[in-house]
Amino acid sequence: MNKLRIAIQKSGRLSEKSLEMLRECGIKISNTDRKLKAEARNFPMEILFLRDDDIPQYVEQGVADIGFLGENEVWEKAKDVEVVQKLGFGNCRLSLAIPKEDEYTGLNFFRGKKIATSYPVILEKYFGEKGIDVQVETINGSVEIATGIGLANGIFDIVSTGSTLIMNGLKEVETLMKSEAVLIAHKSLGRVQKELLDKLLFRIKAYQRGVGSKYIVLNAPNESIPKICSILPGMKSPSILPLADEGWSSVHSVVKEDEFWDVIDALKEVKAQGILVMPIEKMIL
């Protein structure tokens, strides 16, 4: 087969973001009514729409070459697949929570207690390593109601804003791990699939760098340029163009999104003016 087969979530929290990531990589998909399969129009790719729980197994067996899914599912299913790339969406944490009125005394609180979860493998491994015996109650869905109905003393679940816990009278007491969507791959891909995966990864990284950076243009008196250059490292060094106004230049550079406001403050201090900030669509090094 001369295609790359990718498994993504059929419907759920990661579906739209997964399709968006493919779109940002310039991959156009013909029928997104998500029956089971779709073809990309301009890239040798077949898209399989599956439940996220099934993706690790499909990729392990090579029914799909690669997949997008939450890292939490990769850990839980413990299949023999390779985690190739973090995707930067679907961020969440996996935490232990207990009724808010209970006094938390540290991990020993859970010794001999019942914990409800949809992630028994991760949970048992964690307490196994700590040498603490707990009773794991595996349930699929609505884990947050387990303590209220008397099924368990605590829960282990995915948390993102924390509001589900609060609404159910729970408090988060331990965060065991952080998770985000990742790209996983079959362990022994064919030559063509490997090449196509490299192409896809190249595009994903260009997109991620773009999202993580801003293009910045400003004007400054020439005597400030050395200071400005030390504030703005850019991809190599900033581009400096003379302005029609004698003694002034325009400086162009790239700034990381998370350093952006600090950089702006520093630039103002050294008399930068007319600062323009623009999004970067893709960034290729």
The footprint of ligand PRT on this chain (CB under 6 A) covers a number of residues equal to 22
**Alpha carbons 262 and 258: distance in angstroms, whole number:** 9
Minimum distance from residue 51 beta carbon to Zn ion (Å) = 5
Specify the residue, 83 or 243, whose C-beta has the smaller distance to ligand PRT: 83
Instruction: Please identify which residue in 53, 102, 137, 259 interacts with Zn ion, judged by CB under 5 A.
Output: 53
Beta strands in the chain (DSSP E): 4-9, 37-39, 45-50, 66-70, 82-86, 92-99, 114-117, 135-138, 154-159, 170-179, 181-185, 213-221, 239-242, 248-256, 273-279
53 or 82: CB nearest Zn ion? 53
- Residue from 28, 41, 51, 256 binding ligand PRT (CB under 6 A): 51
Residue (70 or 238) nearer to ligand PRT, CB: 70
Does the protein bind ligand PRT through residue 52 (CB under 6 A)?
A: yes
CA 186, CA 66: separation in Å to the nearest integer? 6
Cα separation, 142 vs 118, whole angstroms = 9
Phi/psi at 203 (nearest 5 deg)? -70, -40
Are the beta carbons of 184 and 74 closer than 8 angstroms? yes
> Is 160 a binder of ligand PRT (CB under 6 A)?
yes
Judged by beta carbon, residue 170 or residue 267, the one nearer ligand PRT is 170
Where in 74-133 is the site for ligand PRT (CB under 6 A)? 90, 92
Asked if 162 is part of the footprint of ligand PRT (rule: CB under 6 A), the reply reads yes
> Which residues contact Zn ion (rule: CB under 5 A)?
52-53
